[in-house]
Amino acid sequence: MSKKILFLLNRAPYGSSYALEALESVLVAAAFEQRVSLLFKGTGLHQLLTGQDGAAIGQRTVGKVLSALPGYGVERCFACRPSAERLGLAERDFCLPVKWLDYEGQRRLIDDQDIVTG
Amino acid sequence: MIISVAVHGAPYASSAARTALGFVESALALGHRIHRVFFYHDAVLTAAEGGVAPQDEQDVQAGWVRLQRSHGIELALCIANALKRGMLSDAERRRYDKPAATVHEAFTIVGLGQLVEAMSASDRFVTFQA
């Protein structure tokens, strides 16, 4: 059965393994034809920055994995506007198009899901 | 209700495993069915066979093993997360030619498809983040 699954991505791309490992579960959920949405929050927004090179620290490049998401049918990417304002980030810095949400928009997005996970 | 649970935190560094264990025990006591517990990220370390809990702390692994024995709950480790953290079943130990298996026999190593299956097959999917 296809479910609406929201992944809350709030971890920095390289400070820990959380970001990449979470994206692996995103890819598998999408491959199994779930209706996947992503919400980037807090320092998780740094995952979206262009010009990343994970090879410099012996890791896969998080931004590259994200860029592959539309090919897996993941097209619903949301970003927390208050987080971006706090961190001084704008959509021109990102490798994926996002839809901006304030807290009320995020509440409605979460409310609309079957599953919310990380 | 059919419930599946994801645990993301390491057994002693994070409260996730302990909180998840308490949640599952309560859900069972209330008559719900637990379809699968999926250990992801550092939570795969919950299955470490060589772990010895301090005497004055709750033995998290023993709690999960008890539930597996009493209720037949599937304790599933993500294979990719498990292998890179040295968590090997006997089959994986042989496959990768390592000296010893490290995963307690109550836990099974599965692919990420089983995470999605758990989401799909359950009425509720509850995540305990690190």
> DSSP string of B39-52?
E-GGGGGGGBTT--
Strand-pairing partners, residue B128, are: B7
Q: Does residue B49 contact residue B12 with C-beta atoms inside 8 Å?
A: no
Domain boundaries, chain A: 4-117
Residue B81 bears catalytic tag: no
pLDDT at B115: 97
Using a CB-CB cut-off of 8 Å, the residues of chain A touching B127 are 116-118
Q: Which residues of B touch A21 (CB under 8 A)?
A: 40-41, 80-81
Residue found under tokens 């994926």: A96
Position A71 scores a pLDDT of: 92
Residue found by looking up tokens 């409310």 in the block: A111
CA dist., res. B51 & res. B31, Å (int) = 31
CB B52 within 8 A of CB B79: no
CATH number at residue B57: 3.40.1260.10
A25–B115 C-beta distance less than 8 A: yes
Q: pTM for this one?
A: 0.95
Report the 10 Å Cβ neighbour count for A21: 21
CA nearest A5: which of A91, A87, A73? A73
Domain count within chain B: 1
Contact between residue A109 and residue A78 where contact means Cβ atoms under 8 Å apart: yes
User: Best residue in A32, A41, A110 to probe B by mutation, most B CBs within 10 Å?
Assistant: A32
Q: Do B119 and A25 touch (CB under 8 A)?
A: no
Query: What pLDDT is attached to residue A112?
Result: 97
Confidence of residue A1 (pLDDT cuts 50, 70, 90): confident
- Print pLDDT tens along chain B (130 aa): 999 999 999 999 999 989 999 999 999 999 999 999 999 999 999 999 999 999 999 999 999 999 999 999 999 999 999 999 999 999 999 999 999 999 999 999 999 999 999 999 999 999 999 9
| Domain containing residue B62 | 2-128
Place of tokens 């989401």: B119
pLDDT tens digits, A4-55: 999 999 999 999 999 999 999 999 999 999 999 999 999 999 999 999 999 9
Structure tokens at A41: 């929050």
* pLDDT value at residue A75: 82
ipTM of the prediction: 0.93
Write the CATH number of the domain with boundaries A4-117: 3.40.1260.10
Interface test with B, best of A28, A36, A116 (most B CBs within 10 A): A28
C-beta atoms surrounding B92 within 10 Å = 17
Q: Across the interface, do A115 and B119 touch by the CB < 8 Å criterion?
A: yes
Which tens digits make up the pLDDT trace of A54-90?
Answer: 999 999 999 999 999 999 999 899 999 999 999 999 9
Distance of CA B38 to the CA centre of its chain: 5
